[in-house]
Every structure is written in structure tokens, then in C-alpha cells.
Structure 1
Amino acid sequence: MTSFHALIPCAGTGSRAGTSVPKQYQPVAGQPLVMHTVQALAAVSQLGSGWVVLSPEDDFIWPGAGWPAHFSRVRCGGTSRAESVFNGLKAMLASGLDGQDWVLVHDAARCLVEPGAVSRLIDICRDDAVGGLLALPLPDTLKSEVNGRVQQTVPREHKWLAQTPQMFRLQALHDALAAVASSGFAGITDEASAMERLGLQPRLVEGSAQNFKVTYPADFVLAEAILRSRT
């Protein structure tokens, strides 16, 4: 039977967050931010394993309590998110996982993802020929800019904000990233963009506005408030 696995790239520094440690390790609601991410994915019953990709130089002391037994940490992160994902996929395949298994790549900093949304993504995309991703229809008026001034209003119809997880076949995603590895993964902003380069059209599955990527200092305050409201 086809299995499902999570991959969490966790090798970044989070320079925009203004924290003294990489943002994924910043305490939020009583534990490092990334632990909320890991625990949310660990609560998804369809996921058979989880892989957290760390920088080889990572010296963070992980808490023993709350770590799910079916999740592993691997020190093969690269200099970019795409490289970390690619290296993680290689480690997964080298471990013996079937290339036809599904991998759900999820940002470490999206600590507010809800298990139900991930399960819904799996249920909708498990029989899809390509795979898919959580995303949100663009809710706001969109402007293009030149020199700090509005150039024009861009129609927002048929435009979505990409989120994670993004779910694709393990071997297919590996091969899509391998095809652009020599360019330093130029133009690859997420996993879907790598699949799109091959002429494929990933499925969009509506997510939640709460599944935002913690990036700036104010985001930590909001994330903490939401996490504490759920307890």
C-alpha cells in the first residue's frame, strides 16, 4: 500500500524574524516553534513517518518530551530551502522508502497548521495524478508596483496564496528538483513550482488563514495567541 510521509525543512536562519536564535527554535506558547509544527503533523493518522531536515552544523538541544517516536531528525540541510528539501528526499529514498510513496513537505515555521487540514489534503490528493497543496484564494486587492508607486491593480480572480504541506510522489518530486539542482534551484520557490516546470498542474486544496508562515516579529505574538486559544 502507498504510504505517506512528512518532510520538514528546518535548516534556515530566519533572518527577518529578529530573534536571537533561528526562528524555528524561538519559544512560542511554552516550547520551540518547530515543536508545535512537528506535533501537529504527528497527530495526522495517515502519516507513517516524519523527517526533519537540519543543518549539519545545527547545535540546538531538542526537548525530549513531546517528540513523536515515528519522526526522525537528519542533518543534511543545504544552503537554501529547495536544497534542504532535495537532500531530505535523497535521505528518504536511501532509507528504502518507496518512490511511489507520497511526501508532504511542510514549512517548519507554519506552526499553526491543523491536523484536520493535512488529512483533508491527503484524502483529496491521494488518487490525483500529480498531487497538490494547501492554498488560499487571494482575499485582498492586488497591486503591482514601480518605484514604490502603484503601477496597476491586478485582477485577483484565479489567484491563490500557496501554503504547505505540498504533497507529491517522493520520486517524482526528487526528480523534479534534481532537474534544476545544477542551477542552484533557480526559480524554485516551493515544491509545486518544481512540478510546474515539468508542465504539471498540482491541485489546489483550500486551507486556512491561520496556516501562515511565521516570518516577522509580530507574527510570533499572533501565533502565540492562537496556540494558547486552542488549549
Structure 2
Amino acid sequence: MPACIALIVAAGRGERFGSDIPKQYLPLAGKTVLRHSVEAFLRHPGVTGVRVVINPEHRDLYDAAVAGLGLPEPIRGGASRQQSVLNGLEALAEEKPDLVLVHDGARPLVDAGTIDRVIAALAEQPAAVAATRLADTLKRERDGRVCTTVDRTGLWRARTPQGFRYHDILGAHREAVGLDLTDDAAVAERAGLAVALVPSNPDNLKVTHADDLARAERLIYAGLSDIRTGSGYDVHKFHPGDHVTLCGVSVPHDQALEGHSDADVGLHALTDALLGALAAGDIGQHFPPTDPRWKGADSAVFLRHAAEMVRERGGVIAHVDVTLICERPKVGPHRPAMQARMAELLGIAADRVSVKATTTEGLGFTGRREGIAALATATVRLPMPGLPTAGK
């Protein structure tokens, strides 16, 4: 099998989108746009490596977006997309791959079939472009009015990935420095390379405006029709201390919670809820309290593990709800911080995380202030077996 590197270009600022955060780092169905794009190539058997080109100013956003994927150090982007791609190609000089696939980081729904076809075409041609044939009638405008109808015969809409034999496209890009070419296929054409057109999945859209992001989310969720709900319940008793950890937040209190880990009753209940939605046992099976590794452990480890299990199944976390049951401490002042922390751990938007608190009106062990209980519910969406999903 030829060595094939996917070069994901994600150095843009996304100014047309109108967000303070570059569009490639915006959340999309439980992950960032960029992570969707990267994972499509990581899981493809014909791709032997993935490299990402970024704006160094966005390094913190990038690190959060690809956490846990084990990617090599990102490549520094340039002042233009064309320069960013050249920087990426130059950075591959030591690896010397046979093939390189250049893909826009803001195309999160690229599917395995499209990648297959681009790679296969490179066995016959030095370059190949994923594209869709134009179906709409085209009009040329002048002063707000139609001045002519454009013949659409033979017209295609170029998308990515665009695949090349590595040494050919590296040379072509070096010769095109300073020019303003709109894509890598244009660079290849200028160098006299034959460029094959291969059909792209029509859902392989580029996120440019807010409507594109909304459409991408609808397409992803349409393929995640196996909707499951899990519940969790946990209790920890008080013992001497000066704070409790609830839903990932340290809360000052005149007692602490007793447990093998940090005794975060909220995160424990939520972890069980996610595991329940997956029919994957409970927290004790995955992190036995008899194992000394988890002595005093941050319960964020447990929740991240459950969230990663959802992602490994190709699913997303749609919503979580945690109810803390206690007389003291007061939860209300800490609720926003708890929502934000759990959203961060799960990789979802804060408006998909609910935190509530209630008392038992002095009844029972919580009413006697002997401990804290928590209830949690998690809703996840998984691919329905046998049905295709967007980006797969």
C-alpha cells in the first residue's frame, strides 16, 4: 500500500462566518468541525498518517479540538491558503509519502467512499479532485439583473480532498509561489498535471456561514437515529474536611465527601448514566474501587472515559441532566461553573448540560446532612446498525 498522508488545512480565521472563534473550532454535534474532518482520515484504512496545518495563534483551540487523537505536531500555516499548503508539503519532506490528500478542515462530512475514489484515481493520474457535477442552471449577473445564461455542460463544483502524487504537487506549489490560485488542483493544472474528477458525496459541504453549520448538524443527527437514555444514581457520605467536589467544581464546605476517588457524586452518577445508555455496565466495572490506581483520582477521568466510549461508537451526547440532593452546601451559586466544567469534559455545548439541586425537606440521610446523593440522566444518539451516517 502506498504511503498516503492527509494534509488537513485549518489555518484560516473564518472571517466570513462572523464568529469570534474560527469556524473550524466551533462545536458540531458533540465535536469540533475540525475533529470531524481529522477523524474521517484517521479511521480510513488507505491513509497512513494525518498532519494538520494551523494558525499558531489558535494553538490552544487546536489542542482542545484534537485532544486524545495522538497527532504529530501541527504545521505552521502561512498568510494564504496556498502558502499554508506549501508549508504543509514542505513539512512532509522527511516522510516522503507517495501520495498526499489535501483537505479543508472546514469540510467535516467527507465520507470514506469519496476518500476511496480519490486514492484509487491516483493509481492512474497524478492528481484527482473530489467534485460534484453542477445540476442548477447558472446565470451571469450585471447590475442586479440576469445578463446571460451560462452553459453548465461539463461544469463541476470542486471539493476536497484533492489528491496528488507527493513530489508532483510539491514541485507545482514551489513554482506557483506568489500566485493567487483558488485551489490545489489549479496549482496542478498550471504545472501541466492531468487532474481526474471523481464523484464526491454531495453532503461533503464546506462550513462557510452559520447556515452551513446548521445544515451539517442536521445531516449528522439524521444518521444518528438510535436514541438512547441512561440513568445513574450515586451516594457519598460526609467525613471531616473543608470542601466537597461536585460536578467537577470544588465547593467550600465544613465537611468533605468520603470515597475511594475524589467522591464527586455528580460526576459518578453522570458516568453511570452514559454507561447505561451504552449498555456498558457501571462505573465500578470500569474503575474498580479496589484498584489503588483510582485512590483519590479526579472523577473527570471517569466521565471522559464514558464520553470517549460514546464517540468510539460513532455517537454523540445530546443532553445530560444532573440533580444534586443535599441540604448543604448551596449549589445555586456554583451551578454555572458546574455546567461549564461538565460541558468541557464531555465536549458538548453548555446548553446541553443541566444541573439542578433539591433537598428532602429534612427527611432521610440527606436531610440529616449525613451525605449527598445525585441522580443523572444522559441522552445519546448512536448510528442505527446498517444505516449510513453523514461523514462515514
TM-score, structure 2 normalization: 0.54
Report the CA distance shift for 1:131/1:67 in structure 2 as closer, same or farther (over 3 A). farther
Q: Contact 2:75–2:87 (CA<8 Å) still a contact in 1?
A: no
Among candidates 102, 125, 134, match of residue 138 of structure 1:
134
Among candidates 114, 117, 120, match of residue 114 of structure 2:
117
Give me the whole-angstrom Cα distance separating, in 2, the residues matched to 1:47 and 1:154: 39
| TM-fit CA distance, 1:10 | 0.8
Among candidates 153, 161, 167, match of residue 165 of structure 1:
161
| TM-fit CA distance, 1:75 | 3.5
Among candidates 170, 177, 196, match of residue 203 of structure 1:
196
User: Which residue does the alignment assign to 1:68?
Assistant: 69
Alignment of 1:37-116 (within 5 A): 37-61=37-61, 62-63=63-64, 67-69=68-70, 71-93=71-93, 96-98=94-96, 101-116=98-113
Q: Contact 2:51–2:75 (CA<8 Å) still a contact in 1?
A: no
| TM-fit CA distance, 1:170 | 1.4
User: Which residue does the alignment assign to 1:215?
Assistant: 208
Report the CA distance shift for 1:76/1:103 in structure 2 as closer, same or farther (over 3 A). same
| TM-fit CA distance, 1:169 | 1.2
Give me the whole-angstrom Cα distance separating, in 1, the residues matched to 2:123 and 2:59: 40
Letter in 2 for 1:167: G
Letter in 2 for 1:223: A
TM-score, structure 1 normalization: 0.91
Give me the whole-angstrom Cα distance separating, in 2, the residues matched to 1:105 and 1:174: 12
Q: Which moved more, 1:71-80 or 1:212-221?
A: 71-80
- Three-state SS of the structure 1 residue aligned to 2:90 is helix
- Three-state SS of the structure 2 residue aligned to 1:21 is coil
| TM-fit CA distance, 1:72 | 2.5
- Three-state SS of the structure 2 residue aligned to 1:106 is strand
Give me the whole-angstrom Cα distance separating, in 2, the residues matched to 1:2 and 1:60: 33
Give me the whole-angstrom Cα distance separating, in 2, the residues matched to 1:119 and 1:209: 15
Q: Contact 1:13–1:23 (CA<8 Å) still a contact in 2?
A: yes
Report the CA distance shift for 1:139/1:15 in structure 2 as closer, same or farther (over 3 A). same
User: Which residue does the alignment assign to 2:30?
Assistant: 30
Report the CA distance shift for 1:111/1:73 in structure 2 as closer, same or farther (over 3 A). farther
Higher Rg: 2
Letter in 2 for 1:12: G
- Three-state SS of the structure 2 residue aligned to 1:134 is strand
Give me the whole-angstrom Cα distance separating, in 1, the residues matched to 2:82 and 2:212: 23
Report the CA distance shift for 1:64/1:220 in structure 2 as closer, same or farther (over 3 A). closer
Report the CA distance shift for 1:2/1:75 in structure 2 as closer, same or farther (over 3 A). closer
| TM-fit CA distance, 1:155 | 0.7
- Three-state SS of the structure 2 residue aligned to 1:60 is helix
Q: Contact 1:138–1:156 (CA<8 Å) still a contact in 2?
A: yes
Q: Contact 2:75–2:91 (CA<8 Å) still a contact in 1?
A: no
Q: Identity, % of aligned pairs? A: 37
- Three-state SS of the structure 1 residue aligned to 2:52 is strand
Q: Which moved more, 1:160-169 or 1:71-80?
A: 71-80
- Three-state SS of the structure 2 residue aligned to 1:78 is coil
Report the CA distance shift for 1:199/1:59 in structure 2 as closer, same or farther (over 3 A). closer
Give me the whole-angstrom Cα distance separating, in 2, the residues matched to 1:122 and 1:36: 20
| TM-fit CA distance, 1:20 | 1.9
Report the CA distance shift for 1:21/1:106 in structure 2 as closer, same or farther (over 3 A). same
Letter in 2 for 1:7: L
| TM-fit CA distance, 1:66 | 6.4
| TM-fit CA distance, 1:117 | 1.7
Give me the whole-angstrom Cα distance separating, in 2, the residues matched to 1:39 and 1:66: 12
Letter in 2 for 1:116: G
Q: Give me the CA root mean square deviation.
A: 1.7
User: Which residue does the alignment assign to 1:10?
Assistant: 10
